[in-house]
Structure 1
Amino acid sequence: MHAPLDLDQLHTFVTIADTGSFTRTAAEVHRTQSAVSMQMRRLEERIGKPLFEKDGRTNRLTEDGEKLLNYARRMIRLNREILAAFDDASLEGHIRIGTPDDYADRFLPEIMARFSRSNPRVEMSVICEPTPGLREHIRNGTLDIALVTHNEEKGPSEIVRTEPLLWVTSANHNVHEETPLPVAFGRPNCIWRLAGTDVLEQMGRDYRVLFTSFSATVITAAVLSGLAVSVLAECALRPGMRVLTEADGFGTLPECKIGIMRGKTEHPALVEALAQHIAESLDNISVPLADEAGAIDFAAYATARARRTKQITTAW
């Protein structure tokens, strides 16, 4: 019978993947760097597969390392949930969270499921509004925590995920070839809209804003129906969309940074617990490159992003 895996080793392994460094991991787990390296050697021996490979002066996760990472996160999460289920002093109360609907559809199911399993006594209230409105709620004290699109000029937030910002059109229409280009954007102060119009103007491309809405559902409908081109984060891609690249004549957009904002709250422990679950959930979510019917058509984009590996600086 195989001996069980060591949760402590798995925790160190996940920390290496998250921090990108054996040195920083040693500080995080309160061990020496040599002890961390020894843990990883023992984990590789237990798995029977190499988890890291040399890439110049750095090491990175192998395919088996990436495979183990998903299982390791699940085991650590389950361990926390088991402990929370038997913890008489577990968190309880009410917490108010806000998010744009762009992120709600993709991220909230994972966030709410993880948090509720670990904190069954906590009641959650969720509102969906664009980022500017969520910032106001945070300032006014009507939200405890918000998942927002990070904008340096509008105030600080803790960045927990970075995604490409993409030009999208319908996979079944050629609206992106029209002149002027019909576009569907958020309201005038939407950071994605500003990024899109800046690129179009730099390209010298004539365009007209055909649809304006703070609702991601409306923007998505305009794209899928072949009425307009839009700008969306990777997480907002849907079956039936096509990603437009430089090969289609569309310039590169800046990255989308997703952050957490904390409000003044009477329940700081709840906020910190939820913030941790949000960060872990978003780190564990990947975008599907196609549905069962292969309806998402972004071959050029998929090729460019087919192999995303984490570079891990280490000294063995």
Structure 2
Amino acid sequence: MRSLDPDILRTFMVVAEAPSYAEAGQRLNKTQSTVSVQMRRLEEIVGVELFEKRGRKNELTTPGRELLDYAIRIVRLNDEAVGRFHRPAISGRIRIGTPDDYAETYLPEIFGRFARTHPTVEVSLDCRSSEFLIRSLDEGELDIALITMMRPDPRARIVHREQLQWVAAEGCESEKASPLPLAVWQPGCTWRKITLESLEGAGIPYRIAYSGTNAVALSMVVRQGLAITAMPLRMAGRGFRLLGSAEGLPALSSFDIGLLRGADANPVVDAFYDHVVASFEALEPIAA
């Protein structure tokens, strides 16, 4: 029976994102010829063409995109299995900061991965605004912060990009009110800034009906039909109706999620940092 080598799959995952085999080789610290040989070998194993030439870029074919989904899952399970039985004997405490909406959406998977390989580490979680978390990190009160990128920060590693989406409650028409009733986060929030600037740029009158720092509370307000809001498409679950140009609303921009670490390096911080990066790399795209 044919089998898939995790090392080749790791190369495939990088090639799928890189503009060329040469760039993928640089990221992997492998020669371009090695990358090419591994991709040919992978195509031989699965029996289909994984790439097609588009100008100077190798783009995934439909079978290539399907295999990428499997590759992400196989590599993730491989790493968890190896880590489970060969994990470094580390223990201690790590202090993590994140906005509460990220805690609900992303941290369950991250914490689950981390606990399976480092079950004796104590995790302390602080849910605040990104601006507050950056200050806390700089003051040595946090080890790692997962933040919304309000501006470029050379210290931060961008781990994910999300698209903001207008949403309203199912069964109501809050978007037809004028001025438009909004539920938004407190001043300083990137989502709030994007939301208000988009409406002002489109000349749409609005009023801030509700504001706060708790994602659950703001979602409840929207689900009750009292206002509309803008949130990441990944978070717009049951009870929400997606809005857009058909309702006369302007397009919303995307935003980056960044990962910051404090100045003190230790094995616990290193391990958790790697788990965060791996979890975001394994996220499957969300279709509107």
TM-score by length of 2: 0.91
Higher relative contact order (CA 8 A, sep 6+): 1
Residue of structure 2 equivalent to 1:274:
272
Q: Within 5 Å, give how 1:115-264 maps onto structure 2.
A: 115-152=114-151, 156-264=155-263
Deviations 1:274-307 (A, max 9, x none): 2222122123223655xxxxxxxxxxxx3xxxxx
Unaligned runs of 5+ in 1: 290-301, 303-316
**Distance in 2 (alpha carbons) for counterparts of 1:135 and 1:264:** 12
* Equivalent runs, 1:59-74 vs 2, <5 Å: 59-74=58-73
Alpha-carbon distance in 2 for matches of 1:136, 1:31:
39
Asked if the contact 2:199/2:250 (under 8 Å) is kept, the reply is yes
* Gap runs ≥5 in structure 2: none
Deviations 1:186-215 (A, max 9, x none): 112222112211122222222111111101
Q: Residues 99-118 of structure 1, C-alpha deviation per residue, up to 9 Å, x if partnerless?
A: 11111111111111112223
State how many pairs are aligned: 288
SS of 1:143 mapped into structure 2: coil
| Partner deviation per Cα, 1:58-87 (whole Å, 9 max, x = no partner) | 221222222222222222223323332333
1:4 is aligned to 3
Please give the per-residue CA displacement for 1:146-194, whole angstroms capped at 9, x wherever unaligned. 1110011788522111111222112311000101111011112222112
Aligned-pair distance for 1:16? 1.5
* Higher mean C-alpha displacement, 138-147 vs 74-83: 74-83
Structure 2 residue matching 1:86: 3-state secondary structure? helix
Conserved 8 A contact 1:234-1:287: no
Q: Spell out, residue by residue over 1:111-161, the C-alpha distance to the aligned partner (whole angstroms, 9 max, x if none).
A: 111122232332222222221221222122111001110011788522111
Q: Give the Cα–Cα distance (whole angstroms) in 1 for the partners of residues 130 and 278 of structure 2.
A: 21
Aligned residues of 2:3 and 2:45 also touching (Cα < 8 A): no
What TM-score results when the alignment is normalised by the length of structure 1? 0.84
Contact residue 103 and residue 127 of structure 2 kept, 8 A: yes
Q: Would the alpha carbon gap of residues 156 and 224 (structure 1) be closer, same or farther in structure 2, given more than 3 Å must change?
A: farther
The whole-number CA distance in structure 1 between the counterparts of 2:204 and 2:210 is: 18
The alpha carbon displacement at 1:238 in A equals: 1.6
Q: How does 1:70-81 map to 2 (within 5 A)?
A: 70-81=69-80
Q: Judging changes above 3 Å, is the alpha-carbon distance between structure 1 residues 288 and 252 closer, same or farther for their aligned structure 2 residues?
A: closer
Shift of the 160–242 alpha-carbon distance from structure 1 to 2, 3 Å rule, reads: same
1:96 touches 1:145 (CA, 8 Å); kept in 2?
yes
- Residue range with higher mean Cα deviation, 156-165 or 171-180: 156-165
Tell me the residue number matched to 1:91: 90
TM-aligned CA distance change 1:231 to 1:76, over 3 Å: same
Equivalent residues of 1:172, 1:240 under 8 A apart: no
